[in-house]
Amino acid sequence: MRYDLTTGNAIEATGLVKRFGKTTALGGVDLVARQGRVLGVLGPNGAGKTTAVRILATLLRPDDGQASVCGYDVVRDAHQVRQLIGLTGQYASMDEGLSGTNNLIMIGRLLGIGRAQARARAAELLARFDLTDAAGRPVKTYSGGMRRRLDLAASLVGQPRVLYLDEPTTGLDPRSRTDVWGMIRELVADGVTVLLTTQYLDEADQLAHDIVVIDHGRVVATGTPDELKARIGGRVLQVSPADPAQMVEVSALLGTLTMAEVTTDDETGVATAPVTDGTLVPGIFREFDDRGIELAEFTLRKASLDEVFFALTGHGADDEENGSRELQESKL
Amino acid sequence: MTTIAAPTPDRRVSLLGGLQNTFTLTWRSVLKIRTNMEDLLGLSLQPITFLLLFTYVLGGAIVHGSTHTYLQYELPGLLVMTVVFATLGTGLMLNQDITSGVFDRFRSLPIARWAPLAGAVLGDMVRYLISVAVTIAFGMILGFRVTTNPAAAVLGVLLLLAFALAMCWVSALIGMLVKTAQGVQAFGFIAFFPLVFGSNLLAPTATMPGWLQAFVKVNPMTVLTDAERGLFTGGSVAVPAVRSLLWALGIFVVFAPLAVRVYRRKT
């Protein structure tokens, strides 16, 4: 064995560079996924997440830099890497013309599992993902949620040690999302390392032990969710005037008092600012009181990853996302 | 929940393993033909339409009133046409697999790199066989008769399949170079139409202008059509059959490695 099952890093990448013509998709990306943990890769569409994962899954060769999975180089030892990984989502899809069962049998057979065993494994996975009723139907008749589950099932046929999950809950209803989260936690409990890309920051917050934030082909932040939140002070002050007409005044005052950038949401009438020093908060409250501004809300809370993301990249996580999601949906 | 197996991964796929991968993917292609009624219908209706149109539109004009004589003349040619056009399906399917991400799934699995291509091609042999069978069967309903012997006719079918096995790599190459399915169809027809119709497949060479005759005579479709006529309705067989096989080999040797290279470069 080339690496230590208990302490090793399952994925290590250093200085990954990938160019497509004149565009630089990755401009030197480093990342590490610890064995048996979930690494969340965050970033808007076009940030380079997909390119990074495609390289780690041996689907693309990097122009520069190197990466390894369980100690095997993704270029030189691609064949070994492929025996260790499972892949879902936009990186690899199912055969629309085949039934769910046959898709899974095909993958099992390709992985060298015997005929009867492949059939049994397919049935077991279909049952586990609540797809037994649809097992015999062609995949093109499946709903979005069923596809996601089949996709996940397909990536588990070979019992991978490292699993790449691409936006596993995009387009799922809240219940199915919780189900998928549960399945991911089960896998991690079994020692599987998961690399998860997501647009949902609460998903990363829920599942990821470590997070890498990628923007414009570069890593802009790494750390645990708590560390990342701490980087922008960790807490956020949320203020809302009783009279919406005072919004401008309130947000200006909040900015002066916190010495931070204020985001305002005109729909909800809430102004938000990161707070680095908690002792300032009572003073801020008094200042509003002294000026006779009546407040409907005055809340100090932990920052969400959304706010972290905004602070790190200067734009929200889903700014560039809508167009591509429409495309994805029209494809289904 | 199953436990995670942790065997040391293999360094490479054995040839036997690669062949096994290929057969699994062949099974997939055949399964798809069986479940896709539209494809089956298209495969069967196309030769039937061709037979009806060419026999009754051109037949009388080319052989002065005798559609039966023309049917005997054209059917071996139509077999060639049907099979060559059917190879376009290989490129279409590969293109679909690439754009839909199914090939990425294959490429992420520890299987032989050439297996998805070989599996697609082998699976398509079944499609070719179906179109050949429909052409012969419907031709017989219209009055076509094998005037040599059954063994020769079987050889004729095998020769067709051998040729298709080579031609489908041309189609595979187009399928991987062109971005969309429509593109595959357009480029495929641009490449295949002059080859198929610029031959003695539907009409004798004698009435064609000299420059065209020069092309028709070197066209592999002409050579193959000559061999098929020899095997189904009599005439010289040895020379055109050997030349057909040489053509098939030549096309295979040029286009199969090209297609595999383009396929690998997509990584």
B109: contact with A, CB 8 A cutoff: yes
Q: Which of A79, A124, A159 would you mutate first to test chain B, the one with the most B CBs within 10 A? A: A79
Q: What are the backbone angles phi and psi of residue A208, rounded to the nearest 5°?
A: -80, 135
Span B215-232, pLDDT tens digits: 998 999 999 999 999 999
- Bridge partner list, A138: A99
Put simply, the answer to whether B105 touches A92 (Cβ < 8 Å) is yes
What's the ipTM? 0.82
| 3-class SS of residue B113 | coil
Q: pTM for this structure?
A: 0.79
pLDDT above 90 covers a percentage of chain A that reads: 42
CB-CB neighbors (< 8 A) of A186 in chain B? 1
Residue that finishes a domain, picked among A211, A229, A247: A229
Going by C-alpha positions, the residue among A38, A66, A35 that lies closest to residue A211 is A38
| Closest Cα in chain A, distance from residue B218 (Å) | 41
Span A92-130, pLDDT tens digits: 788 988 999 999 999 999 999 999 999 999 999 999 888
Is residue A22 assigned to a domain?
A: yes
| 3-class SS of residue A263 | strand
CB pairs under 8 A between A and B: 98
Residue A224 and residue A249 share a domain = no
Strands A72-73 and A235-241: unpaired
Task: Name the amino acid, one letter, at B33.
Answer: I
- Domain count within chain A: 2
Q: What is the 3-state secondary structure (H, E, C) of B22-55?
A: HHHHHHHHHHHHHHCHHHHHHHHHHHHHHHHHHH
Residue that finishes a domain, picked among A188, A204, A229: A229
| Closest Cα in chain A, distance from residue B194 (Å) | 33
Put simply, the answer to whether A93 touches B104 (Cβ < 8 Å) is yes
Q: Is the pLDDT of residue B11 over 80?
A: no
Residue that finishes a domain, picked among A179, A207, A229: A229
B235: contact with A, CB 8 A cutoff: no
Residue A57 and residue A96 share a domain = yes
Is residue A175 assigned to a domain?
A: yes
Residue A109 and residue A245 share a domain = no
Residue A251 and residue A175 share a domain = no
Average pLDDT over all residues of chain B: 89
Put simply, the answer to whether A59 touches B110 (Cβ < 8 Å) is no
What is residue A16's predicted lDDT score, i.e. its pLDDT?
95
Span B42-74, pLDDT tens digits: 888 989 999 999 888 888 788 777 888 899 999
Residue A122 and residue A185 share a domain = yes
CA–CA dist A290, A292 (Å, integer): 5
**Could you tell me if A93 and A166 are in contact, meaning their C-beta atoms sit under 8 angstroms apart?**
no
CA–CA dist A170, A173 (Å, integer): 9
Task: Name the amino acid, one letter, at A35.
Answer: Q
CATH number of residue A51's parent domain: 3.40.50.300
CA–CA dist B134, B131 (Å, integer): 5
Is residue A18 assigned to a domain?
A: yes
Strands (E), A216-278: 218-223, 235-241, 263-265, 270-275
CB-CB neighbors (< 8 A) of B13 in chain A? 79
Q: Which residues contact A95 (CB under 8 A, 6 or more apart)?
A: A102, A103, A106, A139, B28, B32, B102
CB-CB neighbors (< 8 A) of B10 in chain A? 79-80, 83
Kind and range of the H or E element at B68? Answer: helix B67-86
Domain limits for position A132 = 9-229
